[in-house]
């Protein structure tokens, strides 16, 4: 019996550097996926921006230095409660009434066990101070902020999930590279063994 021929790891092909390539690629896609997911979620959260909050039946003064994008009125409830019914009015400079429009989709954001429901929208025709007041038997409070479209929130969430999905695909590719490298190196090792086996006469 002859001892098995010596085969150095450095002789095998492909190079072990491919393991490093796979690991670095996996690290990059994981970091990129995490950043993309965080960016998407932050975008979704920022799309709901309630700047002014006020109590039921207590008017709130909201001052606009410039004409803002479309605004919305939000009603707050406890987490377990459904969408509240409310009556609201908005009056601008000179006590001019601002018409309210229904929202095209129901947006709800939950923060600290309080759910904020987008219930009405309005346009600010000119800079100035506007008075917003609401009454309700269901709501625990109200707020005024930027009008939110469902696609803005959904786009941020879906973008974040897509980033995670791409990161998963990248990790899978890295695993495949490592497996293929290991298999090919194993075959190369067996081939060198066969070539270096002493001939039997």
Q: What is the average pLDDT across 141-161?
A: 76
pTM of structure: 0.60
Whether residue 173 has pLDDT greater than 90:
yes
Q: How confident is the model at residue 49 (pLDDT cuts 50, 70, 90)?
A: confident
- Rounded to whole angstroms, how far apart are CA atoms 156 and 138? 30
Q: Determine which of 50-54, 155-159, 186-190 has the lowest per-residue pLDDT on average.
A: 155-159
C-beta of residue 146 within 8 angstroms of C-beta of residue 72: yes
Low-confidence winner among 1-5, 16-20, 62-66, 75-79 (lowest mean pLDDT):
1-5
Q: Are 68 and 117 in contact (CB under 8 A)?
A: no
Mean predicted confidence (pLDDT) in 72-86: 80
Grade residue 64 by pLDDT with cuts at 50, 70 and 90. very high
Q: Residue 155 has what pLDDT?
A: 63
C-beta separation of 132 from 73 below 8 A: yes
Most confident of 59-63, 77-81, 184-188: 59-63
Q: Where are the beta strands (DSSP E) in 1-113?
A: 50-54, 60-64, 71-78, 87-91, 97-98, 108-111
Q: Mean pLDDT score of the chain, rounded to an integer?
A: 84
Say how far residue 56 (Cα) sits from the centre of its chain. Answer: 32
In this predicted structure, what is the pLDDT of residue 1? 53
């Amino acid at each position: 019996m002859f001892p098995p021929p010596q085969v150095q790891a450095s002789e095998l092909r492909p190079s072990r550097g491919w393991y490093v390539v796979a690991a670095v690629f996996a690290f990059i896609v994981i970091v990129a996926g995490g950043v993309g997911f965080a960016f998407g979620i932050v975008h979704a959260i920022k799309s709901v921006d309630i700047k002014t909050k006020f109590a039921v039946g207590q008017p709130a003064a909201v001052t606009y230095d410039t004409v803002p994008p479309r605004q919305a009125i939000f009603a707050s409830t406890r987490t377990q409660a459904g969408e509240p019914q409310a009556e609201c009015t908005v009056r601008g400079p000179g006590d001019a009434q601002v018409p309210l429009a229904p929202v095209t989709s129901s947006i709800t954001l939950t923060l600290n066990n309080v759910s904020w429901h987008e219930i009405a929208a309005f346009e600010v025709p000119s800079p100035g101070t506007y008075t917003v007041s609401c009454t309700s038997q269901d709501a625990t409070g109200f707020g005024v902020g930027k009008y939110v479209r469902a696609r803005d929130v959904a786009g941020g969430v879906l973008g974040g999930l897509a980033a995670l999905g791409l990161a998963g695909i990248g990790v899978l590719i890295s695993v495949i590279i490592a497996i293929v490298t290991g298999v090919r190196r194993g075959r190369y090792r067996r081939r060198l063994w066969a070539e270096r086996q002493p001939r039997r006469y």
